[in-house]
Structure 1
Amino acid sequence: MQVEIVALMASPIHAFEGRPSDGPRPDPEPPGRASVEVRAGLGVVGDRYFGHPAHRRASVTLIAVESLEAVAAELGVPAFDPVLARRTVVLRGADVDGLAGEFTLGGVRFRAHRPANPCAWMDQALAPGAFRALRRRGGIRCAPLTSGVLRLGPTTLDRGE
């Protein structure tokens, strides 16, 4: 199926540490990318979760931009910059929350493992109420099974069905 990668994110730091009321830590460089290099079993090169054993099954996160747009509309706020959700890949045109098992995105094979549940930081990063509004549509956490490069723009998603 044809989809579009509308945002890619890789950050060497975890911006959401401490109390949400204190605000996120500033990134040393802008986290949005035009492309990201994905390595099998390790994650995204340059990302804070790259190669960390505790995150191997969740080193890459995906979310549907439609979920972010729906939340913004429900909360009555302008559309969010999709990078603010801090998911590795933001897609348009796919039911990301419905992905299960293995799938291929832009030539890179992944295995979906579990939901990427939102945290209380979403109320600070996006808008008050976003944490609750993103429940059951916060995306998925997955592990890369093959290596490759993902780029902004049109690509394909093969669910392997």
Structure 2
Amino acid sequence: MASLSEKSPLSQLMGNFAQPGTVEWLGIRPIKRQPMQEVTEVFARPGTGLDGDHYAGKPGSKRQVTLIQAEHLPAVASYLGQETVDPLLLRRNIVVRGLNLLALKDKRFTIGEAEFEYSGECHPCSRMEQNLGPGGYNAMRQHGGILARVVLEGRIQVGDRVEVVAERAQ
């Protein structure tokens, strides 16, 4: 697909964001298939991901960090017939409110002191059936969030701003 000119009307629209997002929750997965741990801060490193997360041992992975939209959690809970859903069960690293994560496609963005680039959508896996119960996989479809690579290292804390900084280098 051809890229848009920076001066095209659509490109300009896609670069406008009403407000920054905010980190509402942070978690790491220290060991594969083990429960997540909620944390209040974490350090992001280029090429690997978040300190203490098992994906940090996979240099170059496009799945260095996972982010999910806080506004999607009530929808997922509703699809499951529940009032709420615990972010620990969703196995995503960062819950963000106030910024449409899917609009970050082809963008670089900062979270706290660190800089990231969008690397794909985070589709649900069969683990959602185990964590959320029957229908968990389907409840998460189109609500799984995004994947990102760490570009510049830095500390991330709950309450930090999430801001778009540039188009991703192609």
| TM-score interval, normalised by the smaller of the two chains | 0.7 to 0.9
Q: TM-score, normalised by structure 2?
A: 0.78
Q: How high is the sequence identity, in percent, across the aligned residues?
A: 34
CA displacement at 1:107 relative to structure 2: 3.2
Hey, what's the Cα distance between the residues in 1 that align with 2:123 and 2:70? 15
- The 5 Å alignment of 1:116-135 reads 116-135=122-141
Pair 1:147–1:117, CA change in 2 (3 A)? same
Greater relative contact order (CA < 8 Å, ≥ 6 in sequence): 1
Distance 1:154 1:58 in 2: 21
Q: CA contact under 8 A between 2:41 and 2:156: conserved in structure 1?
A: yes
1:107-118 → structure 2 map (5 Å cutoff): 107-118=113-124
Any idea what the Cα deviations from partners look like across 1:125-159, whole Å, max 9, x if unmatched?
12421211211221111110000011012423225
Q: Which stretch of the first structure deviates more once superposed, 33-42 or 117-126? A: 117-126
1:60 aligns with 2:94: no
Q: 5+ unaligned residues in a row in structure 2: which ranges? A: 1-18
CA contact (8 A) 2:109 2:162 kept: no
Aligned-partner SS, 1:125: helix
Structure 1 stretch displaced more, 93-102 or 135-144? 93-102
The structural deviation recorded for 1:83 is: 2.0
- Aligned with 2:57: secondary structure? coil
What is the distance in 1 between the residues matched to 2:155 and 2:102?
22
| CA positional deviation for 1:97 | 2.6
Q: Deviations over 1:40-72 (max 9, x none)?
A: 11110111011313x522110101121121111
Structure 1: gaps (5+ residues): 16-24
Which residue of the other structure, out of 81, 88, 93, is the alignment partner of 2:86?
81
1:4 corresponding residue in structure 2: 22
**Aligned structure 1 segments of 4 or more residues deviating by more than 6 angstroms:** none
Structure 2 CA distance for aligned equivalents of residues 146 and 38 of structure 1: 8
Do the aligned partners of 1:99 and 1:159 also contact (CA within 8 Å) in 2?
no
TM-score, normalisation: structure 1: 0.82
Please say which structure displays the higher CA radius of gyration.
2
User: CA RMSD, aligned part only?
Assistant: 1.8
CA contact (8 A) 2:104 2:164 kept: no
2:77 matches 1:72: yes
Q: How many residue pairs were aligned?
A: 148
